[in-house]
Amino acid sequence: MSSTEAARPIFLQGENCKPSWKEANAGFNQTDTHLEILGKPVMERWETPYMHSLATAAASKGGRVLEVGFGMAIAATKLEEFDIEEHWIIECNEGVFQRLQEWAKKQPHKVVPLKGLWEDVAPTLPDGHFDGILYDTYPLSAETWHTHQFSFIKGHAFRLLKAGGVLTYCNLTSWGELLKTDYTDIEKMFEETQVAHLLEAGFKKENISTSVMDLIPPEDCRYYSFHKMITPTILKQ
């Protein structure tokens, strides 16, 4: 990858991939280390330790876990190692969903694949249904680049969780940009850009915690270059 490629913004002003995302080709490379859709760097294998951290948080209450976004199955495969009962997964891209269906057949726990955008699927799910939620989807427009997670969290995450349930999430495409342009402290970034939205959703400050890990991305990664990653653990009480 050229330095020009690495430096170009993930989204151009006004760009919107949502209308074509479902049917767009899921570009898994030959070694299965990168996933690109519509030229966007959706996921890379180097994220594995971080995805495992998110999965560990989401599975910490056992029971029924909802995962929003399947990607390369990194978090999903880790979730299946835990003592959970059911694993519901929302995925909207056709090629990724086909992979999910094949993957689901080989898992030790009951997997419920749900096809569609979370905006369409989440409203059909019942209140208080999940012990854990892991939200990690790709932003589909310039307008929602930094905010799509809040739409899900405020609109659905709180109501979908059982009392005592746990939410974890990330938006690496946003956080990577914020840590490149506005912040040098990842905990300060999370506190100043995320927490107010979690409180608006109904979660309490004393039930929001984070853990930070060291993880250095490859130099050619377009969406994240910071040397640390943050895992939120948000309890519903």
Question: pLDDT, tens digit, for every residue of 185-196?
Answer: 999 999 999 999
Between strands 40-44 and 110-115, the pairing is unpaired
Residue 4, pLDDT > 70, answer: no
Q: Average pLDDT of the chain? A: 96
Question: pLDDT, tens digit, for every residue of 28-69?
Answer: 999 999 999 999 999 999 999 999 999 999 999 999 999 999
According to the model, what pLDDT value does residue 20 have? 97
Please give the share of the chain, as a percent, with pLDDT higher than 70.
97
| pLDDT grade for 3, boundaries at 50, 70 and 90 | very low
Of 166, 194, 174, 181, residue with least CA distance to 54: 166
Give the pLDDT mean for 205-230. 97
Asked whether 112 and 40 are in contact (CB, 8 A), the reply is: no
pTM score > 0.75 for this model? yes
Asked whether 71 and 136 are in contact (CB, 8 A), the reply is: yes
Alpha helix stretches (DSSP H) within the chain: 3-7, 18-21, 48-58, 74-79, 94-104, 118-121, 148-152, 158-160, 172-181, 186-193, 195-201
According to the model, what pLDDT value does residue 9 have? 84
Asked whether 69 and 136 are in contact (CB, 8 A), the reply is: yes
Residues 6+ apart with CB under 8 A from 118: 68, 69, 90, 92, 137, 152, 156
Question: In the beta sheet, which residues pair with residue 19?
Answer: none
Dihedral pair phi/psi, residue 104, rounded to 5°: -60, -35
| Ramachandran sector of residue 39 (left: φ over 0; alpha: ψ -120 to 50; beta: rest) | left
| pLDDT grade for 160, boundaries at 50, 70 and 90 | very high
From CA 78, how far away is CA 168, in angstroms rounded? 14
Query: What amino acid is encoded at 114 in this protein?
Result: L
| pLDDT grade for 202, boundaries at 50, 70 and 90 | very high
Residue 8, pLDDT > 80, answer: no
According to the model, what pLDDT value does residue 6 have? 54
Please give the share of the chain, as a percent, with pLDDT higher than 90.
96
| pLDDT grade for 118, boundaries at 50, 70 and 90 | very high
Residue 236, pLDDT > 90, answer: yes
CA distances from 234 to 16, 67, 166, 173, 196 (A): 30, 15, 6, 21, 13
Question: In the beta sheet, which residues pair with residue 36?
Answer: 27, 41
Question: pLDDT, tens digit, for every residue of 172-187?
Answer: 999 999 999 999 999 9
